[in-house]
Amino acid sequence: MSAPTDSFPARGDLTVRGGLIVDRGRAAESFADVVAADGLLTHIAPDAEGPPGLTLDAQGCTVVPGFVDIQVNGAFGIDLTNEPHRIPEVASQLVRFGVTAFCPTVITGPDTIVPEAIRALREIRRAGSGLTPGSARVLGLHVEGPFLAPGRPGAHPAEHIRSPSLSEVRSWLELVRAGPDAVNLLAILTIAPELPGALDVIDLLARAGVTTCAGHTDASAREIAAAEARGLTGVTHLFNAMSPFGHREPGAVGATLASEGLIAGIIADGVHVDPATIRIAWRLLGAQRIALVSDSIAALGLGDGSFELGEVTVNVSNGAARTTEGVLAGSVLSMDQAVRNLIAYTGCTLSQACRAAATTPARLVGAAGAGLGRLATGRPADLTLLNESHQVVATVVGGTVCHDPEGRVI
């Protein structure tokens, strides 16, 4: 559901000095200081005066909007489908990659999976459990499945894939609305829009303020257009697990590229999509309609090994995550690496890549209305400092420095 500004509590006072400011696809002509008071940006100007508080040295760095990752299955050994109560632990680690807001993602499983995740996130919000000022913001759940095309399961367990059910989705929404803290519990549903009943589900969720994305789909271009007319606004991991482009049948891929509004999530790890294909999508969609996602699994931050993704065992080797059958199963991509990859693959500017990593995903999930994904006065002070190699130097959420490995706080 769209996130009102007051759903993100105010935090700290901070002055970020001496960085080059990048936002909205352009860089400032001169270096500027960024001032935050009570967690909100108050000034972006040279030699800006800030309130008493900490100062973060941004000399030699570029200051960009904090990254917004709308597809995070897990990280650092934690699989969020199996352990949604550990969302705060993932939130505390993602800031290492410049992420200041994210959608915990649960994949297809028994019909208990989504209700358990909603309850877990509700309890986390109610108790403030582990969501410290040193954590990325939690934007709400991304439910990937279970209403997927049987012929496009990817790594989702086929035995739990089922037809879209209005009654099941209504039960999720009733659970979301069961308390005073309903905001930001359910953010995105990935669904195959060609399935019987899918359009009614899309319509219901659109009216409830929940983003719907086409994914794991065999939809034709006509079926994608019909879903878009009912409220579909995005596509989950473009090119992967969907009907491909053909010159007589454009499929889900062609429909997305031809659409005037659909936002396409892309996993820019060089494994899921060839760099040349990403260049094609970039030329057609640009930063306005490409949302970088990690689709990270529990292996993120840990390297090679065997990990769980819901009920599926995933083996990670040489930067690729695959099931025992060899099917790609999420990634070990971090968002800062996705930014570097996009620049390398397309030749785009840092500011354009950061728009795809922050502004556009925030807009897709409805968080832009709460001020996320942009650097502008009056908006939450969520920002990331990158060095000349575009490595993360510091991460700030709500004016609180969450990650500072070089000790730049003065």
Q: Which residues are catalytic?
A: 295
What pairing do the DSSP bridges indicate for beta strands 62-65 and 383-386?
A: antiparallel
Q: How far is CA 163 from CA 17, 41, 400, in A?
A: 54, 45, 44
How many Cβ atoms sit within 10 Å of the Cβ of residue 389? 7
Enumerate the β-bridge partners of residue 374: none
Long-range contacts of residues 367-370, Cβ cutoff 8 Å, at least 24 apart:
367/2, 367/3, 367/68, 367/101, 367/139, 369/2, 369/3, 369/4, 369/5, 370/2, 370/3, 370/4, 370/5, 370/7, 370/8
- Which of 108, 115, 124 is CA-nearest to residue 174? 115
Q: Say how far residue 266 (Cα) sits from the centre of its chain.
A: 10
Quote the CA–CA distance of 10 and 292 in Å, as a whole number.
27
**Helix or strand holding residue 312 (H, E):** strand 312-317
* Contact residues for 180 (Cβ-Cβ < 8 A; gap 6+): none
Alpha helix positions (H), 6-140? 87-94, 113-127
**Helix or strand holding residue 342 (H, E):** helix 335-346
Quote the CA–CA distance of 108 and 192 in Å, as a whole number.
13
- Which of 314, 309, 311, 273 is CA-nearest to residue 290? 273
